[in-house]
Amino acid sequence: MLSVVVGGQYGSEGKGKVAQYLAVERSATAVVRVGGSNSGHTGFIGDDAVKVLRQLPTAALLPDVLCVLGPGSYIDVDLLLREVDETALDPARLKIDPKAFVITAEDREMEERSGQVGEIGSTASGTGASVLRRVARRRGSQTVADVASLRPFISETTSLLRPLLASGARVIVEGTQGFGLSVLHGPHYPYATSRDTSAAGAVSEAGLSPMDVDEVALVLRTFPIRVGGNSGPLANEIDWETIRHESGASRELAEYTSVTGRLRRVARFDPELVRGAIAVNKPSLIVLNHIDYVDAECAMLGTLTDRARKFIRGVSDSIGAPVDLVGLGPSTIVDMTPRLARSAV
């Protein structure tokens, strides 16, 4: 049984929180993180402690869940080892496929020199350059199998996961970024990432089959964001002060990217983009995060207000699909069916 968590906008929709929530709710045995180090996912320890991870799945913050980096992954070795140390992850709980590709210092330097930071808002993490080297198929390119410090974690991950799935265990694939950034399906090429960010793309990078999937969770946010700078079109763009004023928040709400530290651009909800994400991903579960940006009282009270419910109904009507789960704040998710608040961890 395979759950796939993907973003329906331009990333930073809260996929890490949702993957962590589903790992608990579905009693997951393993979580697979795909992609590279060019996006950060936020997980939680208890209700308050926040941890941003760029290589490990957020399930690294949970006990007893196997963390997997599949063959389609792009690995910044120093960053990964630092995250293993910071999370005190038992080495037995991390498995990396030997075919995963290594991001080198030269990859990062190439992206810095390419001008893409200014041209398309690249994070210059080296992920795109690593993808480029991989598809160029040049001899001598490094895979994880070539890195001595990663050998304790190396395991053929498809062979590892296949028996788990056959036994009925729950496995979760934690996708990265969002539909609008897909190099294949995003509407604003070349303002895109270097990979496909759809559920099908994530399953392929994980080394698994579409036939394994029985759940696709599409994660949205009330006010979509893009990274700062010249990162591409963003319909109905506004500013953070407008959101703070309209929501009644008593604190600044401005967000900064976890990879580059740049102030994020922000806009009003765009149903057209999400309808495209629904068409490509065909989700069985839709999650709407940051409802406290609609009404700050949701986070303070731990429940939905009338204003928030009205906004959710409007989103459902505009995208042609019901919202199943709602994020009230950093670590709380509301199940819209029984309408019971639960912690994400």
Q: Report the CATH number that the domain containing residue 305 is assigned in CATH.
A: 3.40.440.10
Query: How many domains does the structure of the chain reveal?
Result: 1
Question: To which H or E segment does residue 112 belong?
Answer: helix 105-114
Both tokens assigned to 245: 């004023």
Q: List alpha helices for 127-270, DSSP H.
A: 127-136, 157-166, 199-206, 240-247
> What is the residue range of 215's domain?
2-99+151-343
CA–CA distances in Å: residue 253 to residues 59, 194, 263, 332 = 26, 29, 11, 17
Q: How many CB atoms lie within 10 A of CB 200?
A: 18
Asked if the structure places residue 329 within a domain, the reply is yes
Asked if the structure places residue 20 within a domain, the reply is yes
Beta strands at 225-226 and 340-343: parallel, antiparallel or unpaired: unpaired
Asked if the structure places residue 155 within a domain, the reply is yes
Asked if the structure places residue 325 within a domain, the reply is yes
Q: At which residue do the structure tokens 């080296």 appear? A: 126
Reading the chain (345 residues) residue by residue, the pLDDT tens digits are 999 999 999 999 999 999 999 999 999 999 999 999 888 888 877 666 678 899 999 999 999 999 999 999 999 999 999 999 999 999 999 999 999 999 988 888 887 776 666 555 566 678 878 888 898 888 878 999 999 999 999 999 999 999 999 999 999 999 999 999 999 999 999 999 989 999 999 999 999 999 999 999 999 999 999 988 888 999 999 999 999 999 999 989 999 887 777 899 999 999 999 999 999 999 999 999 999 999 999 998 989 999 999 999 999 999 999 999 999 877 678 888 654 344 444
Asked if the structure places residue 139 within a domain, the reply is no
Asked if the structure places residue 80 within a domain, the reply is yes
Q: What is the pTM of this model?
A: 0.92
Asked if the structure places residue 219 within a domain, the reply is yes
